[in-house]
Amino acid sequence: MIRTRFAPSPTGELHIGGARTALFNYLFAHSKPEGCFLLRVDDTDRARSLPEFERGILADLKWLGLDWDEGPYRQSERLPLYESSLCKLREKGAVYPCFCSEERLACLRDDQLRRGEPPRYDGLCRDLSEAERERRLQELREEGREPCWRFALSSSTTVFKDRVKGEVTFPAGSMGDFVVVRSDGMPVYLFTSVVDDHMMEITHIIRGDEHLPNTARQQAIFEALNWVSPVVAHIPMILSKARQKLSKRTGSTPIREYRERGYLPKALNAYLAGLSWACPEETDRFSLKDLAEAFSLKNLSASPSIHDETQLLYWQKEATKRRGGLRLCEDLATLDPRFAALNPTSLKALIDDVLDEYPLLPQLRDALAFLLTRPEGAQERRAWMEDLASALRELAPWSQERLNDVLRAFMKDQGLKGREFFHPLRRVLTGCDKGAALPLVLEALGREEVLARLLGDML
């Protein structure tokens, strides 16, 4: 049975990278009938974890359709489990108290960086005698403080198998002893994730390759506790077009913002599915069920993928076409109830005509706002518009085909060129310089409204 998890930290909003990680874990879990996708909130960072971030992440996941089968579990509610596991590590001598001050650690880090070395703990407190440890513990506790606890890494090379990267090696000495419990008693992510992954029977961990060093450290914890490590698959980082790490400056946009801009969740999922996964061409990218059936760790690429909003917009256009004009009529009515009073057939025809240019719902609403509000078109009005109104007054049927014929015949009779006729006509009817085909516009507005806009003060 496959059991995956998505474990965000509620220290910020859900972005493209996190959403892709959630999607891949969801798809892999549901690639098998008995699979389980679990949601865990890694909220042990008390200073930065906020309830509003957690609510936002959960809302984004639900909007994307990535419903979890278990959870959400919160690490802040599972502290006794971590304390119990820490006791086991203490009994095995796998952890030790560290009394180093923040000032000493900062100086150590600065010195190592100046020498061109990777920053890592030098093991000072690891070599303290038992008597010295007890003395320092007593001094701290008399002051009402506690030490942090560090994991004692072995001096051997760390090697593990990754389903995307292959064999990953961290040479001996490349990592320092790391903190598992802070001096305030709060366990850190590296430690809590190991305990939870074991207790929750996680079989596969799919996450970004920036976590490779974390995996090396967590492998050591799994081994110290005699637990079997889940299978790991580290997916490559998503880069900007300039091949830089995504950030606010380089295009890292919250999923919330895409939702507010009018993107459809199916479009986001279809786009995310193509970032580092060779999705089979015959797969319906708008169906999570089809994506899950096609998903395989074997088809994940080890190369970084590029975030390209042009591609995202392509999938948005495809998703809106799949959604269809009638559904989009309903969507518009949710943004502005006045759209619900319009003829759905005429409105659908307009939507179908402009959808490729305005694939985002707020854009579509703005492009069709002329249906709801009469524009200020007096400065565009031409003398021939009164004659055009006369030609249209008795037109039957009031259809796109008949309107197209009348407009072109009228333009020819008046000796007008296309731009001399169509541009001022569009401005008077819609207040815009471009938009849907004018016969569709006239059909949707209806006879009385068209005549009123053509004649204005002449009525």
Residue in the structure block whose two tokens are 């701290």: 140
Mean pLDDT of 384-396: 95
- Helix and strand totals (H; E) in the chain: 19, 12
Provide the token pair at 343. Answer: 């003829």
Distance in angstroms between the alpha carbons of the first and the last residue of the chain: 75
The pLDDT confidence band at residue 22, using thresholds 50, 70 and 90, is: very high
Q: What is the pLDDT of residue 87?
A: 96
Cis peptide before 97 (omega within 30 of 0): no
Residue 247 lies in a domain: no
Range 161-178 average pLDDT: 92
Same-domain status, 113 and 159: yes
DSSP 310-374: HHHHHHHHHHHHHH-HHHHHHHHHHH-GGGGGS-HHHHHHHHHHHTTT--SHHHHHHHTGGGTS-
Q: Is the pTM of this model over 0.85?
A: yes
Rounded to whole angstroms, how far apart are CA atoms 66 and 60?
A: 9
In a shared domain, residues 195 and 124: no
Residue 44: which residues within 8 A CB-CB, separation 6 or more?
75, 76, 186, 187, 188, 189, 192
Give me the domain span that covers residue 431: 378-458
Domain closes at, from 134, 163, 181: 181
Q: At which of 181, 210, 228 does a domain end? A: 181
Give the pair of three-digit tokens for residue 290.
């089809």
**CATH number of domain containing 411:** 1.10.10.350
Question: What are the pLDDT digits (tens) for 112-159?
Answer: 999 988 889 998 999 899 999 999 999 989 888 899 999 999 888 999
What is the DSSP-derived secondary structure letter of residue 153?
Answer: -
pLDDT of residue 144: 87
| Percent of the chain residues past pLDDT 90, beyond the cut | 87
List, in sequence order, every residue forming a beta bridge with 170; answer none if it has no partner: 158
pLDDT of residue 109: 93
Within a domain: residue 278?
yes
pLDDT in tens, 297-313: 999 999 999 999 999 99
Task: Specify the number of domains making up the chain.
Answer: 5
Could you say which DSSP state residue 432 is in? Answer: -
For residue 301, tell me if it sits in a domain.
yes
Query: What is the average pLDDT across 334-355?
Result: 94
In a domain? residue 57: yes
Element (H, E) at 17: helix 16-29
Per residue in 35-52, pLDDT (tens digit) is 999 999 999 988 899 999
C-alpha–C-alpha distance, residues 182 and 245, integer Å: 29
Residues 160 and 87 reside in one and the same domain? yes
- 150 lies in a domain? yes
pLDDT in tens, 48-78: 999 999 999 999 999 999 999 999 999 999 9
- The confidence score (pLDDT) of residue 258 equals 96
Mapped onto helix, strand or coil, the DSSP state of residue 187 is strand
Question: Do 361 and 401 sit in the same domain of this protein?
Answer: no
Q: Do 170 and 87 share a structural domain?
A: yes
Whether 117 is covered by a domain: the verdict is yes
Retrieve residue 237's tokens: 């980082």
Do residue 31 and residue 176 come from a single domain?
A: no
Whether 249 maps to a domain, the answer reads: no
| 290 inside domain | yes
Per-residue model confidence (pLDDT) at position 456? 83
Q: In this structure, are 52 and 118 located in the same domain?
A: no
239/254 Cα distance (integer angstroms): 15
The continuous run of DSSP H or E covering 452 comes out as helix 447-455
The average confidence (pLDDT) of the chain is 93
Q: Which amino acid is present at 376?
A: E
Q: Do residue 87 and residue 147 come from a single domain? A: yes
Is there a contact between 267 and 316 (Cβ–Cβ < 8 Å)? yes
Spatial strand order in the sheet of 3-6: 3-6, 36-41, 70-74
Domain of 155, CATH number, reads: 3.90.800.10
Distances (CA, A) of 11 to 201, 266, 388: 26, 26, 62
pLDDT greater than 80 at residue 335? yes
- Last-in-domain residue among 321, 339, 357: 321
251-294: pLDDT as tens digits: 678 999 999 999 999 999 999 999 999 999 999 999 999 999 99
Please indicate, yes or no, whether residues 268 and 131 belong to a single structural domain of this protein.
no
Instruction: Give the pLDDT of residue 117.
Output: 86
Strands, sheet with 178-181, edge to edge from the N-terminal-most edge strand: 95-98, 148-151, 178-181
**Residues 276 and 305: beta-carbon distance below 8 Å:** yes
Q: How confident is the model at residue 376 (pLDDT cuts 50, 70, 90)?
A: confident
Contact call for residues 250 and 242 (beta carbons, < 8 A): yes
Q: Are residues 63 and 42 in the same domain?
A: yes
The answer, yes or no, to whether residue 247 has pLDDT greater than 70, is: no
Residues 198, 58 within the same domain: yes
Q: How far apart are CA 299 and CA 296, in angstroms?
A: 6
Query: What is the distance between the alpha carbons of residues 323 and 292, in angstroms, rounded to a whole number?
Result: 21
> Is residue 106 predicted with pLDDT exceeding 70?
yes
Contact predicate 385/450, CB 8 Å: no
The amino acid that residue 288 corresponds to is L
Whether 283 and 311 share a structural domain: yes
Q: What is the pLDDT of residue 248?
A: 57
Q: State the pLDDT at residue 459.
A: 45
